[in-house]
Amino acid sequence: MGYGIVEGIGSRLKHIDNGAIFTKTGDHLSIRLKQIYDSLTELIEKHQPDVVSIEDIFYAKNVKSALKLGHARGVAMLAGANAGLEIFEYTPTAIKSAVVGFGRAEKGQVQQMVKMLLNLPEPPQEDAADALAAAICHINTAGTQKSNALLRQKR
């Protein structure tokens, strides 16, 4: 699961933090979800975001994978809600349009545009780039000053 924290300062975007939360594939789903929840709770406590922006539900060919991703997305929403944060959801197309200008952009295009918009030394990891893109989308769409994007892993 990727995460990204971006602050909007006027028309400027300021990168605060990003990364990915990895769990062990062999662990029981409940253990993995708790690890995600605990990690996100720590990030929220550390960075004190004003809102959470998250990628909306998508349709997948593999139902089992989609269900697991849905569980992780629910945990991310719960972490934000338990912290008293408002949750904003954006479709993958809306996020890509807000960042790249094209709703069907490829992963690499999103990574490069996030790198450019946030003046990063290198493109962020894929899941982190998606999270940062969701934060940028929210800032550009809602005009808020700070956003913490929590996205599910897309594997």
Asked if residue 155 is part of any domain, the answer here is no
CATH of the domain at 22: 3.30.420.10
Asked if residue 60 is part of any domain, the answer here is yes
Mean pLDDT of 70-84: 96
pLDDT of residue 144: 47
Entry pTM: 0.90
**Mean per-residue pLDDT over the chain, rounded:** 90
Asked if residue 18 is part of any domain, the answer here is yes
Whole-angstrom distance between the N-terminal and C-terminal Cα of the chain? 10
Whether 59 shows a pLDDT value over 90: the answer reads: no
In which domain, by residue range, is 28 found? 2-150
Mean pLDDT of 19-44: 97
Asked if residue 10 is part of any domain, the answer here is yes
* Burial call 87-116: b when 16+ CB within 10 Å, e when fewer: ebebebebbbbbbbeeeebeeebbbebbbe
Structural domain count, the chain: 1
